[in-house]
Amino acid sequence: MPHRKIESRAVAVPSSRLSRLAKLGGLASSIAGNVAADVAGQLVRGQRPRLDELLLTPANALKVADRLAQMRGAAMKVGQLISMDAGDMLPPELAEILGRLRQEAHHMPVPQLRRVLTEAWGRNWQQRFAEFDAAPIAAASIGQVHRARTKDGRDLAIKVQYPGVRRSIDSDVDNVAALMRVAGLVPGGVDIAPMVVEAKRQLHEEADYEREGRCLSSFGALLADRPEFRVPELHPDLTAPNVLAMSYVDGRPIDSLAPAPQPERDRVLTLLIGLLFRELFEFRLMQTDPNFANYRYAPATGQVLLLDFGATRAFPAEFAELYRRLLRAGLGGDRAGIRAAARDIGFLADDVPARLEQAMLEMFEMSLQPLRQDAPFDFGGSDLAMRMREAGMAMASDRAHFRIPPMDTLFLQRKFGGIYMLATRMRARVDLRGIVEPYL
């Protein structure tokens, strides 16, 4: 089944700093208007309004999500990051609204698309193609993807970056982080400064399509011995800092496997979980974006197709060794070893109260349960994900001691969580211990 053309509206991307700031300024004014109206209504009813409750409303969150989806670029991306990394600390309805940013994006109108391609390839770029479909097959926060066929017969997927994304990253991230704070969409006790710094660094990397092309080629080489996986081939002659050209690979969404026979679901998730640990311990290079859209499935060959390497992250050898220690201690039931490794990784700090440390260690023990059994772990028949989410929310509610973990850890945990969610949705049965033990 080929990619389905996206159905979102074509909305021009505001590309100047002034126009992007105006969009956010208008949003702040709109939220302020909502709050003023709510304050007036409560005063008329003889109630004493609370500012935090008036700011933190689904109506305001919906305005933020819609405006960020229109702006795209770093503005939309930082909303995605907050929805993923602070989602457990937000009221469920707000987390759900911001979560829309992970699925929704408008695309560029055709005239704006042509201007971007002319800037990248020159005025006569259309002469290089037998076909170029102006309707995108995918759109996200940084760019959109088009299918094309060159005159020499290459079937390509062309990722085109939205105009102005790269030069607006720092100001977008700063402005959106400030807006989120003012709008009450981030709990007051949470220091998001490390996340803001990391969002800028990551976005500058993701906006460099030549870098993504190198990561694409690296993964293609690293997985050359595994025909179960397929990585698109880079086409350097058509790749530029804001345009990435790669071979088109045809497949279905990975979660379309949900009704497939149990053995096939088990095989595919065993492949993906095995790849996760290979990325950490062998490659020390990981595609850290857990969006399900980054994986597709080819029914004819049974291959897993790997897409989108913009969020590729290298891990130091010492970092991988810390996780190896944590897993060894966990498999051995060594509580003291788990505590020592967790402290060295940065999960536990010196000022964490004993009760919170105990809760965190119990959560680690809980997460390691699937690795301790000799039989395959049944993701579909376990309530472990729900219990861990409840435990995480309980710890996050202790605002005074909540800390965002080190960034390497945050990105790795996000990838773990995304693959865990996929395995749960697929109701897969996977021999986790068998996968992990060779690396320990």
- What are the Cα distances from residue 205, in Å, to 211, 263, 393? 7, 38, 31
User: pLDDT at position 51, please?
Assistant: 36
CB 288 within 8 A of CB 415: yes
User: Residue 333: is its pLDDT beyond 80?
Assistant: yes
- With 50 as the cut, is the pLDDT of residue 218 above it? yes
- In the numeric block, which tokens belong to residue 276? 């996760």
- The radius of gyration of the chain from alpha carbons, rounded to an integer in Å, stands at 23
- Known catalytic residues are 289
70: which residues sit within 8 A by CB, 6+ positions away? 11, 14, 23, 106
pLDDT surpasses 50 at 318: yes
Position 366 pLDDT exceeds 60: yes
Report the pLDDT value the prediction gives residue 174, as an integer from 0 to 100: 77
Pairing of strands 285-287, 312-314: antiparallel
Residue-wise pLDDT tens digits, 374-387: 899 998 888 877 77
The pLDDT tens digits of the residues spanning 44-92 come to 444 443 334 434 455 555 555 555 555 444 445 554 555 444 444 444 5
Structural domain boundaries of the chain?
A: 17-107+163-206, 253-440
Nearest alpha-carbon partner for 360 in 316, 326, 411, 328: 326
pTM of the model: 0.76
